[in-house]
Amino acid sequence: MAQFEVILIGTGTPLPSNDRCGGSNVVLGSEAVLIDCGWGASRKLMTSGVTLDRINHLFFTHLHSDHITDLPDFLMMRWTAFGSKQPLHIYGPEGTREVVAGFRSGLNPDVRYRIDHHGDKLDPHAMDCIVHEIPATPDATFVATVGDLTVSAFEVDHEPVKPALGFRVERAGASVVFSGDTKRCDTLVRAAKGADVLVSEALHIGMMNAR
């Protein structure tokens, strides 16, 4: 029996695509963790069969738009369509608090409209975002326990984006590592040592040179 399930939700780039969404992955154990929340992630999560109210912990590798901009849709759909009653814990590098505060502030009018319309059918606490800014360390460092999943973070090389993180998620002796956006670097090599699965960024040089 598999120790965990990994679903690649979005594998696109910042460039427009008809068939790929922004960066996003989900790991399923006794609970679920979402790694990044790029454009279209919420819609793709629903087609994957993962209900949004199952996710109470979101981890950002870095703050490029294609990894974060579906957060408002994720929050609203998790709350209104799936009836979540839990706040969302958001983990990410320095700057995450600023990003989340901006997105959340932009939703305030709609939150008020929906509470006025639906009353106590919606729990406003589910729109709360509890932000944890993670230090970028050269070796994988414990960040959180989510059910039976253990999440560690490490720094990767995504210049000029700094800091940028990768994550290692473990359950019952099995592990998956997410590189985030990076070039080859020793911190990733060390963090991925012994992992069962490595979800690594790949860059199409020809595509980049054509833009």
> Which residues are catalytically annotated?
66
Please, which residues have CB within 8 angstroms of residue 89's CB and are 6 or more apart in sequence?
A: 56, 57, 58, 130, 132, 144
Instruction: Report DSSP state, residue 210.
Output: H
Task: Show Cβ contacts of residue 160 under 8 Å, excluding neighbours closer than 6 positions.
Answer: none
The C-alpha atoms of residue 155 and residue 157 are separated, in whole angstroms, by 7
Bridge partners (DSSP) of residue 89 are 57, 130
Any idea which residue has 């319309």 for tokens? 117
With the C-alpha atoms ordered 111, 116, 118, 122, is the resulting torsion angle positive or negative? positive
Q: How far apart are CA 209 and CA 183, in angstroms?
A: 17
**Which two structure tokens, joined as six digits, stand for 161?**
């984006």
Amino acid identity, residue 81?
A: A
At 210, list the tokens: 């054509």
> Among all chains, which residue has been given the structure tokens 């054509």?
210
